[in-house]
Structure 1
Amino acid sequence: MPELEPETRPVFSLLDEAWASREGVCAAIQLESGACYTWGGLRLASAKVAGLLRSLGVKPGSQVLFASQNRVEALAALIGIWRAGAIATLVDPLTISEDLYYQLEGRGVEVGVVSQQFYEREHSTMAKAGLKEVLVVDGQPREGEVKVHTMGEAMRENEVYGDDVEGTSRSVIMYYAGIAGRTMQVYHTHAALSTTVKALGVSMKLDFRPVSLVVAPMTHVLGLQVSTLTPLYLGGAVVMMQRWDEVTALKAIKAYGISYIAGAPTMHDSLVEAARRLGAPPGVRLGLSGGAPLRPETQDGFHSVFGAPLVQFYGMTESWVLTYQPTSVWEVKGTVGAPIAGVDVKVVNPDNPSEERGQGEVGELLAKAPWLMEAYEDPEDTKRAFFDGWLRTGDLMSFDERGLFYFRGVRKRMIKYKAYPIFPRDLEEVLRRHPAVEQAYVYGEKDPSVGERPVAKVVLRPGSSVTEKELLDFVNSRVAFYKKLHRVYIVDKIEA
């Protein structure tokens, strides 16, 4: 991989430079309406949002909730959070009720940037968690327990371009601490975000300006780094899609000249099936898959219908992207590729990380990169996540004679449902809040169509009576759709 000079500036400065001579070119398009923001328009709107946030009392280092479906206004507002010197606390827009409260409570978040859909569903939870005001990127002004501001209001504010924002300050807080195995805040700096975007862009070696279909939410590595920021850094455009539909995606490829599509394997499965049924429009140059293992049939099917490679990448919340499968070896099945520029990795004995393993041997992947997380919110979990300066990924890998890596399993407790990470510990805590539950153990049951489905074994308190359906309803009314339990087994004893 090429040499990489780490960045010291915020990602918005990186993008401002990349687009300096093309500010009038369309950079972000709303798929559903065709509305376009040029980079100049995005830059101005983001500076106006930064001005609004400052007027609401947001200071450098303040946490600002960001929870929105994929909208061009949301992208402008996210960049605005960074220009204001604030930290974007990224919460999946599908997060609901107690799950949301847990992520916000006690963290001093008083201002948010959200979509209308999220606001309508969760305004009471946001108020309970301490939020006082929100910018609803696609909403109308209203009074209530959480005061609503609009993009129209923001556009009347003074601009704040963020010239004083330091690269060493925090830019993003993400959740889903996979290594620790629980939902917890993960801290990243501005310089780290800029460097990882640059590293992926350099490593892909694209010979075209990507027009990216953004399907995954910008609250995840796949949506933010892979689908949005890296294509923009490369001078390409992003087409924001609020809800996945494979037929709509095929129409969008033709209408907007989409050439770059990143998503989970299940998304690619449905896209390939629709293309076989309806015909594939020309123009797609590259597909990227992450979040779960990619089936060889999907990889071959994508190439057969679009005439373009579908390759895998690997990363996590704590590390951003670490490996990428070069298009020159796209036909190699099962590989997550090689380390991207700036990354060092090694495979070690999981029980003794000072002992390295060789070619073909399975072990835990350890990684170093200039953009690894700064920390978890829990210092003890931070210490456990590193060994002698190396990040312990908790994933089992092997590598071949070409330096290509292959995913072989996990050491950490995690379920992958449609590429969404689910931590059993989180669901166990919800179950144990039920007065009839004494013990709970959550695990994944294999299902080729989705990866794994979360199920639970439960031991009841003596004298208690509750049905499996009642326990399912108790949990599933409190968590996002992808975290919902599919079965509960009431047992006398738990043997994990």
Structure 2
Amino acid sequence: MVPEIQHQILLSKPVIAFASSDSAHKLPLLKHGIVNIDSVEFESLMENQRGKKERAGIKVKQSDVATILYSSGTTGPVKGVALTHRNWTANIAGGMRPVRTIQTVGYCTVPLFHAYGMALSLRLMASGECLVITGGNRRFDMRKMYSVIEEYRVSQLALAPPLVVTMAGDAEVMDGYDLSSLEVVICGGAHLSKSTIERLKNRLPKVQLAQSNGLTETTGRVFATLGPDETRTEGATGKLMANCEAKVVDPETGAALPPMKPGELWVRGDLVMKGYVDDEDATAAVLGREGWLRTGDLCYINNQGYLFFVDRIKELIKYKGYQVAPAELEHLLNGHPDVVEAAVVPYPDEEAGQVPVAFVVRQPGSNIVGSEIKDFVAKQVSHYKRIRRVIFIDSLPRNASGKVLRKELVIKLSTLTSKL
């Protein structure tokens, strides 16, 4: 934890830090020190008017860096993503909605240091809506979340994918609370399986599930489902946001592909980052001269303009020359009644190159065995997509945005195999 913070400080080069009293000790000495946000000193800073005249002469350009957020590091070392004032202005403008007769009450449960949480919070505040934020315990309390929705009459709930999965199967606890104010559940950060979506719709039939697709490098979402009509399109993560261009290209040649043809998603516009901090090589690897950002996502766009996510290109499993998408197998596994959630990773094989291995979280009380899981998948896929091994696990490792940390599972798999 501390080494990670040190790396982030080296990238952002702060001169002052604002931290809670239980985290301040993890930070080094800075030029202007550390301010505890739960202290009297912080309260006085919020009320102090000194320095107002000096600040009036400061000029800020749209191209200036407003924030440095950090990529998940799923494709290498953690990188500092430089996002400008123009990036955030475009994000907020693209997400503004018509004026409502009833005020929106948004509840942000996702981290504010992530593009998802920050963008949602800024949009709600910019439109004068009500924003509810809770913090404290590392372990998320679903009962506390339901009570907050009930108490504040929350209409818009922002969740990371693992909490959507929990909520979809949380019948006994959920039924004890009044969630009638809830209109929309927003989910971003990772793709939801079809079975999870169906379970949530069955639990909350009047609530819209709004999904989105985006990156820290695109200031959050670039495709999103807005409104009840778009949320009804099964499997889609929405349509292109304002102030942005997108195309699907052949990953090898960069040639644009027609609708319904899977390829790499490229995006361009005011939402795209300025670049990675102090890393010109990494910036050049994803950001072309014409401003197109290579997302690394394998997707297709249908004839109505809806985006469908297939998988991360670098996570495709290569079995005897065939490409196997882990997301497809995970979708099947998550549809099994004895499975809470699952993740599929590659494992080296001398003959095939790579084979799919599944990490599975069983439903409480289930005694299902690996052979049953493998047979379940084998009946629904081609021979080269079959699961070759099943490993049962208590929970899947995830980052703050809810993405499964496949690299940790690959390491765990290597460790388990070496012990055999």
**TM-score, normalization by structure 2:** 0.69
The 2-side partners of 1:302 and 1:207 are apart by 27
Structure 2 equivalent of residue 100 of structure 1? 5
Superposition pairs of residues 381-420 of structure 1, within 5 angstroms: 381-387=282-288, 388-412=290-314
Deviation at 1:485, TM superposition (A): 4.4
Q: Which residue of the other structure, out of 208, 232, 238, is the alignment partner of 1:331?
A: 232
Offset from partner CA, 1:330-387 (integer Å, 9 cap, x none): 232221111011221100000111x111121110000012121011121122122123
The 1-side partners of 2:14 and 2:315 are apart by 29
Match of 2:4, as an amino acid? D
Offset from partner CA, 1:64-84 (integer Å, 9 cap, x none): xxxxxxxxxxxxxxxxxxxxx
**Is 2:297–2:313's contact at 8 Å kept on the other side of the alignment?**
yes
Superposition pairs of residues 83-232 of structure 1, within 5 angstroms: 96-105=1-10, 107-119=12-24, 123=25, 125-127=26-28, 130=30, 133-139=33-39, 149-158=41-50, 160=52, 164-176=59-71, 181-202=76-97, 208-226=102-120, 228-232=121-125
**Is 2:248–2:265's contact at 8 Å kept on the other side of the alignment?**
yes
The 1-side partners of 2:50 and 2:359 are apart by 53
With over 3 angstroms needed to count, the CA separation of the structure-2 counterparts of 1:207 and 1:274, relative to structure 1, is farther
**Is 1:112–1:131's contact at 8 Å kept on the other side of the alignment?**
no
The farther-off stretch of 384-393 and 290-299 is 290-299
Asked whether 1:285 is paired with 2:183, we answer yes
Offset from partner CA, 1:86-121 (integer Å, 9 cap, x none): xxxxxxxxxx211111221375323111122322xx
Offset from partner CA, 1:19-61 (integer Å, 9 cap, x none): xxxxxxxxxxxxxxxxxxxxxxxxxxxxxxxxxxxxxxxxxxx
Offset from partner CA, 1:399-457 (integer Å, 9 cap, x none): 112111111111246999xxxxxxx9xxxxxxxxxxxxxxxxxxx9754659xxxxxxx
**Is 1:347–1:397's contact at 8 Å kept on the other side of the alignment?**
yes
Q: Which residue of the other structure, out of 241, 263, 267, is the alignment partner of 2:134?
A: 241
Structure 1 equivalent of residue 218 of structure 2? 319
The farther-off stretch of 169-178 and 318-327 is 169-178
Offset from partner CA, 1:242-283 (integer Å, 9 cap, x none): 153211111111100110011122112223433554424210
With over 3 angstroms needed to count, the CA separation of the structure-2 counterparts of 1:206 and 1:406, relative to structure 1, is farther
Secondary structure of 1:105's aligned partner? helix
Deviation at 1:311, TM superposition (A): 1.9
Deviation at 1:236, TM superposition (A): 1.1
Q: Which residue of the other structure, out of 268, 273, 280, is the alignment partner of 1:373?
A: 273
Secondary structure of 1:489's aligned partner? helix
The 2-side partners of 1:392 and 1:219 are apart by 23
Secondary structure of 2:243's aligned partner? coil
**Is 2:12–2:68's contact at 8 Å kept on the other side of the alignment?**
no
Asked whether 1:299 is paired with 2:197, we answer yes
Deviation at 1:396, TM superposition (A): 0.6
The 1-side partners of 2:357 and 2:39 are apart by 40
Match of 1:310, as an amino acid? L
**Is 2:169–2:200's contact at 8 Å kept on the other side of the alignment?**
no
The 1-side partners of 2:122 and 2:312 are apart by 29
Structure 1 equivalent of residue 370 of structure 2? none
Match of 2:78, as an amino acid? T
Match of 1:489, as an amino acid? S
Match of 1:196, as an amino acid? N
Match of 1:316, as an amino acid? L
With over 3 angstroms needed to count, the CA separation of the structure-2 counterparts of 1:285 and 1:257, relative to structure 1, is same
The 2-side partners of 1:300 and 1:233 are apart by 33
Deviation at 1:223, TM superposition (A): 0.8
The 2-side partners of 1:490 and 1:299 are apart by 34
The 1-side partners of 2:237 and 2:301 are apart by 10
Secondary structure of 2:207's aligned partner? coil
The 2-side partners of 1:265 and 1:492 are apart by 30
The 2-side partners of 1:285 and 1:335 are apart by 19
Deviation at 1:208, TM superposition (A): 5.0
Offset from partner CA, 1:189-229 (integer Å, 9 cap, x none): 11221211111224x99775321111111111111102x11
- Runs of at least 5 residues in structure 1 that lack an aligned partner in the other structure: 1-95, 141-148, 417-423, 425-443, 451-475
**Is 1:171–1:188's contact at 8 Å kept on the other side of the alignment?**
yes
Deviation at 1:178, TM superposition (A): 5.9
**TM-score, normalization by structure 1:** 0.59
Deviation at 1:131, TM superposition (A): 6.2
Secondary structure of 2:198's aligned partner? helix
With over 3 angstroms needed to count, the CA separation of the structure-2 counterparts of 1:391 and 1:178, relative to structure 1, is farther
| Alignment root-mean-square deviation, CA | 3.6
With over 3 angstroms needed to count, the CA separation of the structure-2 counterparts of 1:107 and 1:197, relative to structure 1, is closer
Structure 2 equivalent of residue 92 of structure 1? none
Q: Which residue of the other structure, out of 165, 170, 177, is the alignment partner of 1:274?
A: 170
Structure 1 equivalent of residue 208 of structure 2? 309
Match of 1:295, as an amino acid? S
Match of 1:215, as an amino acid? T
Match of 1:391, as an amino acid? L
**Is 2:143–2:173's contact at 8 Å kept on the other side of the alignment?**
no
Match of 2:77, as an amino acid? R
Structure 2 equivalent of residue 254 of structure 1? 150
With over 3 angstroms needed to count, the CA separation of the structure-2 counterparts of 1:287 and 1:376, relative to structure 1, is same
**Is 2:104–2:130's contact at 8 Å kept on the other side of the alignment?**
yes
The 2-side partners of 1:374 and 1:347 are apart by 22
Deviation at 1:240, TM superposition (A): 0.6
**Is 2:269–2:291's contact at 8 Å kept on the other side of the alignment?**
no
